[in-house]
Amino acid sequence: MTALLTPPTAAFIAEIHPVGDAVRARITNISWRDDPRCPRYDDLAYLRLAHNTFTGTTAIGELLVARAIAARTCELFRRLYALGFPIRQMKLIDELGADDERSMSADNTSAFNFRMVANTQILSQHARGLAIDINPVENPWRKPDRLLPPEGAAFADRANIRPGMFVRPGPVVAAIDELGFEWGGDWMHAWDDHHLVWSR
């Protein structure tokens, strides 16, 4: 069963900007680090994107992604918008101290964050601006004995489809597939339902 989606009535808005001085001031030494492994500011793009909310309104959110996937990311969110897919909030993870767990618990949609994969010394794809997390509460990271964030426990049953969830089959995951993103919900070691990554 697929959740009923209601297309929005307002026009979609997507803007791609360089990472200018104002954004640099917000991210430096928070999500962005002066580390040779960290993308340079010119390798990133600052996006302003319209999205549907859970209350039936629209809002403008912001993301930082690798410049190489900026247009593709805008197209993904255009399709989500056209489908009426709701997003809780979309703000730079710097507003949450670049803390991944805090961002997940806040149900925040985010992308770039120069960090390691949890409990490893391996750089996350978020550190390269190539991964996007969408609605982490409705789409938690799951293993049989563990779930993150804890606020997503009510969404552990993926057969009980509600707004804001990614499920296969469904039009949202179909759009993800068509645009060439890899969906963490297909992984076998753990289901990372909120995680999309560009790995080509």
Contact status, residue 133 vs residue 125, Cβ threshold 8 Å: no
Helix residue ranges, H only, the chain: 21-27, 70-83, 100-105, 171-178
- Would the pLDDT of 107 be above 70? yes
Sign of CA dihedral 92, 48, 138, 54: positive
Question: Three-state SS for 81?
Answer: helix
Q: Give the confidence band of 3 by pLDDT, cuts at 50, 70, 90.
A: very low
Say whether the peptide bond before residue 169 is cis (omega within 30 degrees of 0): yes
Domain boundaries, given as residue ranges, for the chain: 14-197
The residues pairing with 17 across neighbouring beta strands, listed in sequence order, are 46
Quote the pTM value. Answer: 0.93
Q: Please state, in angstroms and rounded to a whole number, the distance separating the CA atoms of residues 63 and 131.
A: 11
- For residues 53, 126, 43, 183, the Cα torsion angle rounded to the nearest 10 degrees is -70
- Would the pLDDT of 50 be above 70? yes
Contact status, residue 164 vs residue 85, Cβ threshold 8 Å: yes
Predicted pLDDT of residue 7: 60
pLDDT digits (tens, 9 = 90+) for 135-158: 999 999 999 999 999 999 999 999
8 contact partners, CB below 8 Å, separation of at least 6 = 52, 58, 81, 82, 84
Residue type for 176, please?
I
pLDDT digits (tens, 9 = 90+) for 28-37: 999 999 999 9
- How much is the mean pLDDT over the chain? 94
